[in-house]
């Protein structure tokens, strides 16, 4: 059984001390989905929402969120992101927008939370910009797909 690194001797939450860790190249990829009616996905694809280009705004929001993850998640370290990239795949017939975020750094701690935060906030932005047209939008399956770097090495999700 693995111990939780964010819990101290007396069960109190704590920020992990990463001072002695080596600086390594680290990368994480996260994915999630926004599920809409097919007509909503088609409007996103054709950029016909009055609020503007939904995916460009969502991409910007996701990037901004990744940079502020340390301010949103209490025990995350503020880290220097060297790259954050967000891509969208629209499957309009199914009413699905897949979001993928890739975060990179050269540092002492990983960027998994930054990648997942980017996906979550990009998805919430899509919801916010489209909710007037589709009240049944849902967000699902936000998960880490891959991470590399650091002492624990590489992780790849199988599904």
Residues taking part in catalysis: 128
Are the C-beta atoms of 13 and 74 separated by less than 8 Å?
A: yes
* Residue that is written with structure tokens 């309009």 in the block: 92
Dist. CA 32–CA 92, nearest whole Å: 16
Are the C-beta atoms of 100 and 87 separated by less than 8 Å?
A: yes
Which positions ≥6 away from 47 have C-beta within 8 Å? Answer: 53, 54
């Amino acid at each position: 059984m693995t111990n939780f690194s964010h819990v101290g001797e007396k069960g109190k939450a704590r920020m992990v001390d990463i001072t002695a860790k080596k600086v390594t190249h680290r990368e994480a990829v996260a994915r999630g989905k926004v599920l809409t009616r097919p007509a909503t996905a088609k409007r996103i694809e054709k950029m016909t929402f009055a609020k503007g280009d939904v995916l460009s705004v969502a991409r910007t929001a996701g990037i901004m969120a990744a940079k502020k993850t340390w301010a949103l998640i209490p025990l995350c370290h503020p880290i220097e992101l060297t790259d954050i990239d967000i891509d969208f795949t629209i499957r309009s017939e199914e009413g699905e927008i897949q979001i993928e975020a890739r975060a990179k750094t050269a540092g002492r701690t990983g960027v998994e939370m930054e990648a997942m935060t980017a996906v979550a906030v990009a998805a919430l932005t899509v919801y916010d910009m489209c909710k007037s047209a589709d009240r049944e939008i849902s967000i699902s399956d936000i998960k880490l797909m891959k991470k590399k770097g650091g002492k624990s090495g590489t992780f790849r999700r199988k599904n």
